[in-house]
Amino acid sequence: QKEVEQNSGPLSVPEGAIASLNCTYSDRGSQSFFWYRQYSGKSPELIMFIYSNGDKEDGRFTAQLNKASQYVSLLIRDSKPSDSATYLCAVNTGFQKLVFGTGTRLLVSP
Amino acid sequence: DGGITQSPKYLFRKEGQNVTLSCEQNLNHDAMYWYRQDPGQGLRLIYYSQIVNDFQKGDIAEGYSVSREKKESFPLTVTSAQKNPTAFYLCASKRREGTDTQYFGPGTRLTVL
């Protein structure tokens, strides 16, 4: 079982819709959770992090964490073509290291 | 202007050669990391360092070596022992205490000819 799992996609949504990206993790002791966006050929850039159960909102982005079910999600409201990218979920399982999922490719069509 | 720099952006290597990838940060971060990314895959940890003159192996350290002589610098050497070195290499850093957030440099794309 992979430590951090994501659906590789692509997830296709029309412009203006809500994109929902999901991530599950295996280590119940995980403390912190991150979403990175990576454009093709570029390095990952941080979108959000979340530490506590519940929702965390930042502009058009909402991260949701459910530790009991071991999943974390990212919602993107009012999706734009510029949101088209690969979204990486990362989990801190301790020891100052992050474990990354393989990413979900999002395509937002005009 | 704070950030993480990696050089070169593109690197071509002949089989059997060692090459060194540079990573420098002026964020005053204590911890630094090297990852490798292959097409369609996530990031895999090669080495990391939490403090000067100390570093630990990650999940795929074989064929790689690092040094951490200065807080700002964490170079990665890809040795001839690394059998499949063609990949996108990413350096990251973070503060040792507090937030776990890692920030990435722009990456080096290594191709073995």
Chain B nearest-CA residue for A8: B40
Note the pLDDT of residue B99.
Answer: 73
Note the pLDDT of residue A1.
Answer: 58
Predicted confidence band of residue B2 (pLDDT cuts 50, 70, 90): low
Note the pLDDT of residue A37.
Answer: 98
Note the pLDDT of residue A7.
Answer: 92
The share of chain B scoring above pLDDT 70, in percent, equals 98
Please state, rounded to an integer, the average pLDDT across all residues of chain B.
Answer: 93
The share of chain A scoring above pLDDT 70, in percent, equals 98
Give the integer Cα–Cα distance in Å for B85 and B36: 9
> CB of A49 within 8 A of CB of A89?
no
Residues B42-84 have pLDDT tens digits of 899 999 999 999 999 999 999 999 999 999 999 999 998 888 9
Check residue B16 and report its DSSP letter. Answer: T
> CB of A4 within 8 A of CB of A23?
yes
pLDDT for residue B94 is more than 90: yes
Residues A47-84 have pLDDT tens digits of 999 999 999 999 999 999 999 999 999 999 999 999 99
Sheet of strand A71-76, all strands in order from the earlier edge strand to the far edge: A4-5, A19-25, A71-76, A61-66, A54-58
Contacts of B42 in chain A (CB under 8 A): 4, 88, 100-103
Interface test with B, best of A3, A87, A97, A99 (most B CBs within 10 A): A97
- The 3-state DSSP class for residue B83 equals coil
Chain B nearest-CA residue for A2: B42
In this structure, the dihedral spanned by the alpha carbons of residues A14, A42, A72 and A64, taken in order and rounded to 10 degrees, is -60
Is residue A50 within 8 angstroms of chain B, CB to CB?
no
Mean pLDDT value across residues A89-97? 86
Note the pLDDT of residue A2.
Answer: 65
Q: How far does B104 lie from chain A, in Å, by closest CA?
A: 6
Peptide bond preceding A81 in cis form (omega within 30 of 0): no
